[in-house]
Structure 1
Amino acid sequence: MRPTTTRRSFVKGAGGAAVGMTAGLAGCLFGDDDEDLVIQYNAVDGWANYSTVRETFTEETGIDFPEDTKNSGQTLNALTNEADNPQADVAYMGISDAIVAEQEGLTQPYEPENWDQIPDDLKHPDGEWFCNHYGTVGWAVNTDEIEEPPETWEDLLDERFEDTIALYNPESAYNGFINYVNANLAMGGSLTDFEPGIEFFQELQDRGNIAAMPDQGVTTSFFQGEVPMLMAYDFNAYEAKYLSDMDEDSVEVVVPDDSALVIPYTLNVVNDAPRQENGEQLCDFQLSEQGQQLFAESFVTPARDDVDIPDEIADMMLPEDEYGGSQAIDYEELVEHQSDIRSEFSEEIAS
């Protein structure tokens, strides 16, 4: 049995879960209609095995697939700003930003190969977006720096975590935003009431427990030993433990006991994509068994029901009972309030 069965059931059970080189520079260098180029916004080396995915796709197809270092929020902003003159062919985002992109007319329908193997609640019914993999909120702890790792969100307020916690900026990166949403829910908030989350983060700051909250580079900072704790996803934590230069025995993976959100990441074909056929081919590759297995090698959960996590990877992951706090949410409801949530965070926390 794959170790993600229970987490997949959480995703399916959620009522609202029906839910480098910049592309502009690449367009200047290669030409918007270049047959041997595809641009995917948010294809970052060091994230979800994208360096290997990019290299393998190019080897298989001869189509150049350069790295793009935007995060989800920056990707949505770029698609919005470029709506009249698209530069990218494919976009990769957290599900909330993908839903916004669809609502704003920034995507176009496409059903990739193996469409039928993607669960219905992990794809837009018309193909405006579709999940390629998902993860669960999780933390990586450097036990050389922190002897007693946290088990719950409440634990993070303890004085032993002074100047230790690093996460992506919730104003910009979806990873950080979801950790903020998760903290709010764990503290008793809801998708319409973020006062508990505001108070929690204010207290973290007042106690000096947040060491870093930049737009980018947090996982790399943890891998390099610059911060003692990384708040991200379980797959980021597993990568730190098994795929970085860190001592495997010095990294502990934590999935918070009280609440750990399950988050789909998605692909879509950009509306009026300049290299649409290449973009569709790239989506097909990422949903192929080969592409899904490449993602699984970085500890993300494949979107396709019929693709298992390789045994050697599953054996390194936490047992299923460590995911008892896993939960999905109504992502469409989250989207309704996402702008206000980020604005409130900016006003109350980031400022």
Structure 2
Amino acid sequence: MISKRYFAGVAIAAAVAVSLTACAGSNSGTAGSTSSVNAKTAKTATSAKDVGGMDALVKAANAEGQLNVITLPPSWANYGKIIAGFEKKYPKITINSANPDGSSADEVAAAKAQKGQTTAPDVFDIGTAVLQQNLDLVAPYKVANWADIPTDFKDADGKWYYDYTGLMSVGYDSSVIKTAPKKIDDLLGSAYKGKVSIKGDPTQANEAASAVYMAALQSGGSAEDIQQGIDFFGKLKGAGNFQAVTPTQATVASGETPVVIQWSYNNLAWGKAGGASGNANFTTVVFPGTALGSYYNQAINVDAPHPAAARLWEEWIYSPEVQNLYLASGAYPATLTAMQDNKKVDTKVLESVGAAPKDFAQLTADQATKAATLLTSKWAAAIG
């Protein structure tokens, strides 16, 4: 169980191959108008109690009839099933899923550009560095299961709360790469010519930035100074091994991007667990030594066009049902310890996935902000 928020420079054993459930698709559509039913109350509610309790919150959300989510691919941390489950439980609410392959920066850009419009995102699933730079965009709200979220996994006022983490990993097509990589420098070898990709621009996307952070830790750098990670990707580009293609489940399945550095739950979901959409040869490795994790954050848009539905979504996210769905994807949920203590965890899933690592490195908010600044100034030159 993860007992602390930050673990900089901590070694753990290498990793895992686990079975995952395949993800269902998500619905999308055009946002409707915000209902006036309890709209003002819902917009400022810091708990369900403020709108009269859960039944009243559901009623207000049903009246709104819409929920706008953003950057939630169906294969990412079981979001396909999570979205489908919400719509099944609350059939009067349609989820509009925008820009599923976007970044944390895209979430912020959409919130700012669409402020006051019915299409603006209601909720965020966002990386720490981007969140900390945009705290004015989020509204405080404490879910019913607030006590199940560890104190250092949440803002004291309820502006944000951790939802899940994985470990930064390498996914590779074993039909192309015949020998499993055992350390980060293996990716510099000739077998990886034009084959290694990351999830977008690390100056914009938390997952891509985390690939650089992991490279720094594996190369003798630290969470305090990620320059060695930038240097590593410069070497990768110089060797001709870095591929400037943003990978997707489809590009992995087709063989276009045979080596991907990304979160373990995404690499796993793109392999056998992806069924017909996956690549049966895609294998996940977490290198020995210092492993990198990073919790993503849930938060509500302060200008959410559907404020009641936004708050109901957060109640759904922190229910044991959804926390177990995160777990089934290989993403360790924020309330795992409480669910184990309360005997609400799916023990078969936990046995299949394996216990959460006791220790791993995670950048603090200050370290992430410092790293993001360094990436902004050095990244383009390194891989240009």
TM-score (norm 2): 0.77
| Aligned 1:250-329 pairs, distance under 5 A | 250-304=281-335, 305-307=337-339, 310-317=346-353, 326-329=360-363
Matching of residue 26 in structure 1 with residue 20 in structure 2: no
Q: Provide Cα deviations, 1:206-236, integer angstroms capped at 9, x if missing partner.
A: 111123442xx43432133322112101111
Structure 1 position 50, deviation (Å): 1.0
**SS state at 2:379 partner:** helix
Show the counterpart of 2:17.
none
Structure 1 position 191, deviation (Å): 4.7
Q: 1:316 to 1:239 in 2, by over 3 A?
A: farther
Q: 1:301 and 1:96 mapped to 2: Cα distance?
A: 20
| Aligned 1:153-168 pairs, distance under 5 A | 153-168=184-199
Paired residue for 2:97, among 49, 62, 67? 67
Q: 1:205 to 1:12 in 2, by over 3 A?
A: closer
Q: 1:12 to 1:199 in 2, by over 3 A?
A: closer
Q: Which amino acid aligns with 1:224?
A: S
| Aligned 1:1-351 pairs, distance under 5 A | 5=1, 8-9=2-3, 11=5, 26-27=30-31, 30-33=32-35, 35-62=64-91, 63-68=93-98, 69=100, 70-83=102-115, 87-102=120-135, 105-169=136-200, 170-191=202-223, 193-214=225-246, 217-244=247-274, 245=276, 246=278, 248=280, 250-304=281-335, 305-307=337-339, 310-317=346-353, 326-349=360-383, 351=384
**SS state at 2:158 partner:** coil
Structure 1 position 108, deviation (Å): 0.8
**SS state at 2:338 partner:** coil
Structure 1 position 241, deviation (Å): 3.0
Q: 1:285 to 1:152 in 2, by over 3 A?
A: same
Per mean C-alpha deviation after superposition, the further-off stretch among 328-337 and 179-188 is 328-337
**What percentage of aligned pairs have identical amino acids?**
21
Q: 2:378 and 2:112 mapped to 1: Cα distance?
A: 22
Per mean C-alpha deviation after superposition, the further-off stretch among 111-120 and 335-344 is 335-344
8 A Cα contact 1:10 1:326, kept in partner? no
8 A Cα contact 2:6 2:363, kept in partner? no
Structure 1 position 172, deviation (Å): 2.5
Per mean C-alpha deviation after superposition, the further-off stretch among 255-264 and 276-285 is 255-264
8 A Cα contact 1:135 1:235, kept in partner? yes
Structure 1 position 84, deviation (Å): 6.1
Structure 1 position 315, deviation (Å): 4.4
Q: 2:218 and 2:239 mapped to 1: Cα distance?
A: 19
Q: 1:22 and 1:291 mapped to 2: Cα distance?
A: 18
8 A Cα contact 2:328 2:353, kept in partner? no
Q: Provide Cα deviations, 1:273-317, integer angstroms capped at 9, x if missing partner.
A: 121111000010010011111222211111102235644444444
Gaps of 5+ in 1: none
Per mean C-alpha deviation after superposition, the further-off stretch among 195-204 and 323-332 is 323-332
8 A Cα contact 2:253 2:279, kept in partner? no
Structure 1 position 202, deviation (Å): 1.2
Per mean C-alpha deviation after superposition, the further-off stretch among 335-344 and 126-135 is 335-344
Give the root-mean-square deviation of aligned CA atoms: 2.8
